[in-house]
Chains A and B, each alone.
Chain A
Amino acid sequence: MSIEKSAFARKFEDLARDRRMTFKVIAEQMQVSAALIARVLNGSRPPTSEFVDKSIQTFGLSERDAEQLRFFSDISQSKITIRPRNEEEARKVVAFKRSLQKG
């Protein structure tokens, strides 16, 4: 049994550690509960865009770092929904899904 944290969780913890901000202070500034932070960090709740925006604000991230955090949030989602606009896009999505499943 080992702990595998998402890219977002690892980055979030690194940012908190670099800034010496405790989870209590972070939760207060983000106006979220410690429970929500726990669930985002353990991966049972994917980070919402609101959560990511509040994190960016709380940690005072530059545009470049904010973009990186958004990217980590995107790749830390357990489910990704894609709505193809036409048949051609649907074909591409299905082909991509199959290639992932094969790999």
Chain B
Amino acid sequence: MLQPFPTLPYQGLRDDRPKRISDHNTLVEIVDSASELRSRVSCSDAPVCLSSILQFELPKYGNWTADDRHFLDLQGKPIDGSLEAFCDFREGREIFLREWVFEAIVEGHAAHGEDFFRASESLGHEFGHVFRQNHKLRIAARNRGCEGSTNKRVAHNRGVDRAKDWSKVNTENADLEEEADMFCYALHVPVSKLRKSPEILEVSEKYNINSEMAHQCALLAKDYYRAKAVLSV
């Protein structure tokens, strides 16, 4: 017997994206692992405290540093400010942040305004590279013997053109970058717990994110519930 497709959060949301690179299983696993991390720092329905994750959870998986001296290109020249953070792509264990990103994360939105949103997105994305074991293994496998930080270059390209559509970005690691983005969105908003479709502005205020990220979270919520429905059939 055919089951009726369930009513999904954000079913009517305007959505002209191309298909995601990740399959349904991966998407569900990413959202669930981000939710689990949220619950570990006890922010089930509140804005996520990335500073707590950095301090108390990350050391079990990897290292971090906030140091502008690491933001040099392969010729040793400073990389422009659009690259805010990157992850060591050989093992996916080390997160490098610009010093202002750390300050914004620690001191919060009240002290840093829009910079706080940018910092949150950058750090959440890097967490997406470090907190999932199978993601780290794929990073290591693809970059065996690679001396430079591939991701630094990828992240820089992305920083110049903050495209959310990884299918249009010419990089062999686009799938990993998309996964890290999805982890970031699910970390900021508990998309698996959304039972209705709150307004984007409402989500943005409740979870202390900007409206652009709230929109991405809504799209992820939509995809998550669709994936769950498809997988349960």
Q: What is the interface of chain A, defined by CB distance below 8 A to chain B? A: 1-3, 5, 13, 16-17, 20, 22-24, 27, 33-35, 37-39, 41-44
Contact = CB atoms under 8 A, between A and B. Distances in A.
A64 B56 CA distance: 25
B106 A1 contact: no
Contact of B149 (A1, A13, A16, A35): A1
**Nearest 10 Cβ contacts at the A-B interface:** A42-B67, A34-B106, A38-B66, A34-B103, A3-B63, A23-B106, A3-B65, A38-B102, A38-B99, A42-B65
Interface in B83-111: 88, 90, 94, 96, 99, 102-103, 106-108
A1 B94 contact: yes
B136 interface: no
Contacts of A44: 67, 69
Contacts of A38: 66-67, 99, 102-103
Given A38-B99, A38-B102, A24 B108 contact: yes
A1 B70 contact: yes
A96 to B, nearest CB: 29
Interface string B172-209: 00000000000000000000000000000000000000
Given A1-B88, A17-B59, A24 B94 contact: no
B61 interface: no
A89 B193 CA distance: 70
Contacts of B149: 1
Interface residues of B, number: 24
A24 B107 contact: yes
Contact of A23 (B55, B69, B70, B96): B55
B99 A22 contact: no
15 contacts: A2-B94, A3-B94, A3-B96, A5-B65, A13-B55, A13-B59, A16-B55, A17-B56, A22-B52, A23-B51, A27-B107, A38-B66, A39-B99, A42-B67, A44-B67
Contacts of B106: 22-24, 27, 34, 37
Contacts of B88: 1-2
Interface in B141-172: 149
B144 to A, nearest CB: 15
A1 to B, nearest CB: 6
Contacts of B69: 42, 44
